Amino acid sequence: MKLHQMSPEQLEERRRRGRSNLTWMLVVGTFLLVIAAPTMIVVFFGMLPTLVAYIIDRSSQKSATFCVGSINFIGVFPYVMDLWFDFNTIDAALNFVTDLFAMLVMYSAAAFGWLLFMTMPTVVASFVTVLQQRKVAQLRGEQKKLIEEWGGEVAALVEIERTEQREHHLEDGVSGMT
């Protein structure tokens, strides 16, 4: 549902839930920062492109965030592993985030994620469109066969639904005016 379609009560509920989520995130983040501060430093700086993707991705699905985030995390994860298996200190973490090569790896992964998200959906959409067209053609063919076998009356239910929709639309239109 779009924002402009929401009632004031719904909008207020949405805002309240948003504030609640932010509170929880701050609590969990603070907790993780206390118990795993090096990991959190690397993840925060390494995953900045994902944060950007999250901010600029206005879709409800957040597909770009997931795509960029997943690939971005592939670039960040080896350094997190290094922290966990070698020196899990804040200095080590700061070394990673100040290492240009490491950051290049992390941000390149994110860039690959972006590249993937920018190219692949169009290709997939073309496939989907073709599949849908084939599906429509197949359904139309089935309907044609039904009409050949049973005559035009077989579409009576559909016609009734359409008529009802039209009536409903007209009634709505009139009631909207009044």
Partner 1 sequence: MANALDEAVETAEPKSDVPSSPTEEGTVVLSPPAPPPDPAVATETPAPKPVPSGNGKGFVSTGIPIPNRNTAPADAANHPAATLKNRYLIFPSMPLTDLDTPSASAYSVEDRREPGRHLFALICTPGLPTRTRTMVDLRSQVVRGLIPLVDFGPVHWSPLGQSCQVVILERPLGGRLLDAFIDKPLKINEYDIGRRLFEPLAKALAELSALDLPHRAIRIDNLYYMDKDRTELVLGECVTAPPGYDQPQIYEPLDRAMAIPAGRGYGHTTDDIYALGVIGVFLLLGYNPAAKASNEELIIGKAELGTYQCLCGNERIPLPLIEPLRGMLSDDAKERWDTAAMEQWLSGQKKTPIQRRGVTKPKTPYKFAGRDHLTPRTIAFSFSKNVADASKAIKSGKLEMWLRQSLGQPETADSIAATTAMTKVHEGSPDGSDDILISKICMRLDPQAPIRYKGFAFMPDGFGAALALEYLRKGNFQIPGEILARDLLGYWFACQSPITPDLSAMDRSFIALRNFAKINEVGFGMERCLYELNRSLPCQSPLLQQSYVDHIDEMLPALDAASEHVDKRSRPIDNHVAAFIATHFKFDIQPHLKALSDSKEETSLIGMLSLFALMQWRLSKTPLYGLSSWLGGLLHPAIGTYHSRATRRAIEQEIPTLVRQGSLPELFDLIDNADRRTKDRADFQSAQLEFSHAEAEIQSIIGENIDQEKIALQTGERFTAMVGIVMGMVSITVIIFVKAM
Q: Which is nearer to partner 1, 41 or 64 (CB)?
A: 64
Q: Which residue type sits at 153? A: E
Q: Which is nearer to partner 1, 33 or 128 (CB)?
A: 128
Smallest distance, partner 1 to C-beta of residue 169, A: 11
87 secondary structure, DSSP code? -
Smallest distance, partner 1 to C-beta of residue 65, A: 8
CB atoms within 10 A of CB 54: 15
Tokens of 176: 């909207």
Smallest distance, partner 1 to C-beta of residue 20, A: 26
Q: Compute the distance between CA of residue 42 and CA of residue 81 in angstroms, rounded to an integer.
A: 11
Tokens of 87: 């020196």
Smallest distance, partner 1 to C-beta of residue 8, A: 26
Residues in contact with partner 1 by the rule CB under 8 A: 59, 61-64, 66-71, 73-74, 77-78, 81, 85, 113, 116-117, 120-126, 128-129, 132, 135-136, 139-140, 142-143, 146-151, 153-158, 161
Q: Which is nearer to partner 1, 103 or 109 (CB)?
A: 109
Within 8 A by CB and 6+ apart from 14, the residues are: 6
Distances (CA, A) of 2 to 5, 11, 14: 5, 10, 12
Q: Which is nearer to partner 1, 15 or 166 (CB)?
A: 166
Largest CA distance in the chain: 80
